[in-house]
Amino acid sequence: MKDSWQKMKPRLGESNWGALAGAVVGATGGLFAAGIAPAIMAKSPALLVRYPIIGIFCMLVGGPIGWLVGGQLGPRLGEKCDSQRAEIVGGVVGGLVPVAIIALWGWYMKTH
């Protein structure tokens, strides 16, 4: 018998633990992701927050994308491992997707 948190195929935008974890990681990481490359290149952590308007925009974009990706990845991983913790880990990994994309964009903008 399956627990209530296990789902075969989650609907897009459906609320679950993976989606929540993905949204938190995507929004929080998106806030600082655009400044990661400049901070590393200049060896100055102060550059993480040098562009606050871009950071807020990336947070507003990263949160929903993390919700969608984490909401799809989390339940599938949770069902495969038969664990709610695995669902949350899948959501965190899903939330890192927009953070990585934004960080790569920041690196591209800094180097070109």
Q: What is the pLDDT of residues 19-52, one digit of tens each?
A: 999 999 999 999 999 999 999 999 999 999 888 9
Residue 27 lies in domain: 17-111
CA distance 92 to 4: 20
Q: Is residue 10 part of a domain?
A: no
Q: What is the pTM of this model?
A: 0.86
Q: Is residue 7 part of a domain?
A: no
The answer to whether 5 touches 14, Cβ cutoff 8 Å, is no
CA distance 55 to 49: 7
Sign of CA pseudo-dihedral 18, 24, 25, 27: positive
Over the Cα atoms of the chain, what is R_g?
16
Task: Give the number of domains in the chain.
Answer: 1
In this structure, the number of other CB atoms found within 10 A of the CB of residue 2 comes to 9
Q: Is residue 4 part of a domain?
A: no
